Amino acid sequence: MRRSGRLSLRRRQDMDTPDSGGMTPLGRKTAETGINITSTTGYSRGLTFIRTHTLFGQSPTRRIIPQTSLLQENADPQKIAFLLRKQWTLYSVTPMYKFSYGNLKEYSRLLSAFVAAEKQKGLAVEVGNDFGIKVTLSTLLGLKGTDQDQVAILVQIASRSQLPFENAEDKVVWSGWFCCISGDDLLESVPEDFTCLSLFLANGAESYTAIVGSWFQKTFDCYFSRLTISPLNLAWMAAMWTGCKVDSHMAATELVFSVPCIPQSLDISYAIHPEDAKALWDTVQKTPGEVTQEEVNLFMDCLYSHFHRHFKIHLSATRLVKVSTSIASAHCDGNIKILHSKHLIGVLTLLTELAISQIQ
């Protein structure tokens, strides 16, 4: 408890001290290719970049809402639809060393064998789909924020149908995808040997996530960590997603707060009619296409005071654990569900930013 108290104090500090210069979340790293690494005992760090930032949990005070939030033309609608309306668990991934898009087929084979081997507890390993398990790595085209972004990758584990029919379809038992939307800052700082796909989303049994993750870690020398979402960032999501236009049916904006009580914690659910929430946000937001920390704070404070007027409860003293809107829903444990393909890129941009700040 002592610990969480201290953390919340930090958050408060972050809120109170806006960083005037911070438009981009990540200190842009300058490339210094001139460093000579022959010095065997030097302090030259061998890294061709210098970072100039940030403590835990610091986040930018201003975010731009991406203008080109539509998917690129070459996107496969079927695959994109597959990504929507599913609960994804979030991970951050450090840049992968010597990953090659040309070898996806080979990787599929190796990963299939690895999954089979792990499932068989290390006994015989098998290539192909003979073990009732088939892993496929494929590209997710069109899922890009900028042209520099690396192509997203979809990994699927299918169990072979037990039915004897020819056309019996394989059943997908687990899927995960890597992407990096508008991750230019990271991309510019790493050499060509590395592939930046910093955000990983998994759906399915965690044992499969563990196997696939282990394989990637072993093969490409990367590191997977769970990506949790701080209450501060959840508030950002609440504000940014409330402001988005949705053509079709709008679901209520719902915020879930957690009150640490003994013996069981108490959850408070606060649902707002989407149009009311949008109206409130429109009065708060000053510049279209841009959101600032002050605006987010003001938006949340308005909601808090409204709630206090009716229920005499200070929500600001509780912990925001979940946000759901018509665009997407997010839980602080690091789970997300995206509902609208139109806003897919926007949501992923924010998540990529969070993932990158975790690995830097």
260 binds another protein (CB under 8 A): no
Q: For residue 325, what is the enclosing H or E element?
A: none
Q: Find the length of the chain.
A: 360
User: Which among 179, 175, 178 has a CA at the least distance from the CA of 208?
Assistant: 175
65 or 190: whose CB is closer to another protein?
190
Q: Are 111 and 208 in contact (CB under 8 A)?
A: no
| Residue 209 vs 326, nearer CB to another protein | 209
In whole angstroms, give the CA distance from residue 121 to residue 258.
41
Closest by CA position to 204, among listed 170, 174, 176: 174
Q: Which is nearer to another protein, 242 or 360 (CB)?
A: 360
**Out of 16, 21, 73, 123, which residue is the one contacting another protein (CB under 8 A)?**
123
Asked whether position 28 contacts another protein by CB under 8 A, the answer is: no
Query: Rule CB under 8 A: which of 315-334 touch another protein?
Result: 333-334
Q: Which is nearer to another protein, 263 or 288 (CB)?
A: 263
Residue type present at position 137: L
Which residues, numbered 34-53, are part of the site for another protein (CB under 8 A)? 34-48, 51
- DSSP secondary-structure letter at 339? -
Question: Cβ(135)–Cβ(216) under 8 Å?
Answer: no
Give the residue among 258, 252, 259 at the shortest CA–CA distance from 238.
252
| Per-residue tokens: 257 | 């707060």
Draw the binding track, 64-103, toward another protein (x: CB under 8 A; -: no contact): ------------------------------xx-xx-x--x
Displacement of CA 4 from its chain's centroid (Å): 23
Q: 58 vs 242, which CB is nearer to another protein? A: 58
| Rounded-to-integer distance, Cα 234 and Cα 57, Å | 13
Task: Write out the binding residues for another protein, residues 226-255 only, by CB under 8 A.
Answer: 226, 228
| Least distance CB 95 / another protein (angstroms) | 6
Tell the smallest beta-carbon distance from residue 61 to another protein (Å): 19
DSSP state of 190: S
C-beta of 285 vs 357, nearer to another protein: 357
Determine which residue in the list 177, 178, 194, 299 makes contact with another protein, applying CB under 8 A.
194
Number of residues counted as binding another protein (CB under 8 A): 71
Considering only residues 153 to 192 of the shown chain, the ones binding another protein according to CB under 8 A are: 160, 190-191
